[in-house]
Homo-oligomer: A and B are copies of this chain.
Amino acid sequence: MQTSQTGNLMVVQCSEGCPVANAILAGVIGEALNHETIENVYGCLKGLHGLLHEEIIDLAEESQQTIRALQHTPGAALGTSSLTLKRPQDIERALQVIRAQEVHSLILIGDLDTQESALKIAEAAEEQGYKLSVITIPASIENNLPVTDHCLGFGSAAKALSLTVRELSCELASSITSGPRVHILEVPGTQSGWLAASSTLAKRRNEPEDAPHIVCMPETHFETQGFLSAVQKALVKHGYAIVVTAEGITDADGNFVAQPADPADNLSRPSVAELLANLVRTELSIRAEWSRLGVLASTAAHCLSQND
């Protein structure tokens, strides 16, 4: 806390899907009690929605047991929403609530959109000459914030994923006499391949041939022939192949490989893993299975990383 202004602290959990958003919250509450300049610790309910609608609770009233349990609870205990502050009247309203609650330290936990909201609130406070320290804590399993070395949440998601791939490879390696098998695992990531790439982290030291054998990321264009020959090469070497793909990979023209029927509704994007599995089956006549983690990638609270 760089501010020496005595006042209240408010913490807001923004954006979705981070296994440690609650652990961060527990950390913030614990640390806040060590600072004499901080009087009350408030939490906004339902993310920035709670800030606009003045839905606020006193976090110091919660039992220590509750706060401790947060360390292992996925999701966002205060509730969250995808709301961001873009309109000037929303920023103004947020600042009104902040002033009314005598908040001089504001902590936002979230991803890229959260950073933008934070910046706008900070700028508005400065314009009005109101002393407000705004701190953002980058939290995103996709690790898609620039400049930051790593986002909180990414470590745990990466740990759970790489463990899953390692265990999957034990399974597939067991049964190669039943014929070659290819498994395609789809993980979140529409703009960045950090999470897909992190699936390689459980490779053993000096064992570059460990699974995954192929990783498809949005940063490089997907190319069918190259993919199929990489699969064939892995099959020759290992008798099985494990492919990890980000959901948002694109072709040479920059179009999503799994293009939704209605591009406006990206929630209905079909499974990339299924498309790739069908490709392997039809082009190589090889047994191909697939699985899709989706939001499960961000809820593995039983796999929390020390890094987080």
Complex contacts, A17 vs chain B, CB 8 Å = 171
- Minimum CB–CB distance from A36 to chain B (whole Å) comes to 32
The answer to whether residues A291 and B289 also contact, given A174-B16, A174-B80 and a CB cut-off of 8 A, is no
The verdict on A123 contacting chain B, using a C-beta distance below 8 Å, is: no
Pairwise interchain contact A175-B16, C-beta atoms closer than 8 A: yes
Once A288-B267, A291-B292 are accepted as A-B contacts, the answer to whether A79 and B171 lie under 8 Å apart by CB is no
A residues lining the B interface (CB < 8 Å): 13, 16-17, 21, 46-47, 49, 73-77, 79-83, 163-164, 167-168, 170-178, 183, 185, 265, 267-268, 270-271, 274, 277-278, 281, 287-296, 298-303
Residues of B within 8 A of A271 (CB): 271, 274, 292
- Let me know if B79 and A175 touch, CB within 8 A: yes
How many chain copies? 2
Residue of B nearest to A267 (CB): B287
CA distance A185 to B73 in the complex (A): 20
Is there an interface contact between A296 and B178, defined as CB atoms closer than 8 Å? no
Interface centre among A185, A271, A299 (most CB of B within 10 A): A299
- Within 8 Å by CB of A16, from B75, B80, B178, B288, lies B178
* A289 → chain B closest CB, angstroms: 6
Bound complex: CA of A49 vs CA of B271, how far in Å? 35
Are the C-beta atoms of A170 and B295 separated by less than 8 Å? no
Cβ-defined contact, A177 with B83, below 8 A: yes
Report the minimal beta-carbon distance from A108 to chain B, rounded to whole angstroms.
15
Chain B residue numbers with a CB within 8 Å of A49 are 177
Further 6 A-B residue pairs, CB within 8 A, beyond A167-B302, A292-B292: A75-B167, A75-B172, A167-B299, A271-B274, A291-B296, A302-B302
Which residues of the other chain, B, contact A289 by a CB distance below 8 angstroms? 267, 294-295
Judge whether B281 and A170 touch: CB under 8 Å.
Answer: no
Offer 24 A-B interface pairs, CB within 8 angstroms, sorted by A.
A16-B174, A46-B177, A74-B167, A75-B167, A75-B175, A76-B175, A79-B174, A79-B176, A81-B178, A164-B296, A167-B299, A168-B295, A168-B296, A170-B299, A170-B301, A171-B298, A183-B294, A183-B295, A185-B296, A267-B287, A271-B274, A274-B274, A291-B294, A302-B302
| A267 and B292 contacting across the interface, CB-CB below 8 Å | no
What's the minimum C-beta distance from A279 to chain B, rounded to whole angstroms?
12
User: In whole angstroms, how far apart are the Cα atoms of A302 and B303 in the complex?
Assistant: 9
Question: B76 and A167: CB pair below 8 A?
Answer: no
Pair A173/B47 contact, Cβ less than 8 Å: no
How many angstroms from the CA of A185 to the CA of B294 in the assembled complex?
A: 10
Q: Which residues of B contact A83 (CB under 8 A)?
A: 177-178
Task: Judge whether A290 and B296 touch: CB under 8 Å.
Answer: no
Residues of B within 8 A of A287 (CB): 267
Closest chain B residue to A303, Cβ basis: B302
B175→A80 contact, CB < 8 A:
yes
Min CB distance, A150 to chain B, in Å?
21
CA distance A303 to B17 in the complex (A): 22
